[in-house]
Amino acid sequence: AQKITQTQPGMFVQEKEAVTLDCTYDTSDPSYGLFWYKQPSSGEMIFLIYQGSYDQQNATEGRYSLNFQKARKSANLVISASQLGDSAMYFCAMRPPDSSYKLIFGSGTRLLVRP
Partner 1 sequence: NAGVTQTPKFQVLKTGQSMTLQCAQDMNHNSMYWYRQDPGMGLRLIYYSASEGTTDKGEVPNGYNVSRLNKREFSLRLESAAPSQTSVYFCASRAASGNTIYFGEGSWLTVV
When the beta carbons of 82 and 109 are compared against partner 1, the nearer one is: 109
When the beta carbons of 33 and 81 are compared against partner 1, the nearer one is: 33
Q: Which residues bind partner 1 (CB under 8 A)?
A: 4, 33, 35, 37, 42-45, 47, 50, 52, 91, 93, 99-108
Q: Are 115 and 68 within 8 A, CB to CB?
A: no
Residue 105 Cβ vs partner 1, minimum distance, rounded to whole Å: 3
Residue 95 Cβ vs partner 1, minimum distance, rounded to whole Å: 8
When the beta carbons of 10 and 15 are compared against partner 1, the nearer one is: 10
Residue 12 Cβ vs partner 1, minimum distance, rounded to whole Å: 18
Residue 43 Cβ vs partner 1, minimum distance, rounded to whole Å: 5
Residues sharing a CB contact under 8 Å with residue 35, sequence separation 6 or more, in sequence order: 47, 48, 49, 50, 92, 93, 94, 95, 103
Q: 67 to each of 14, 76, 83, 92, 114, how far by Cα in Å? A: 21, 5, 20, 12, 24
Give the number of C-alpha atoms closer than 13 A to the C-alpha of residue 59, restricted to the C-beta side. Answer: 19
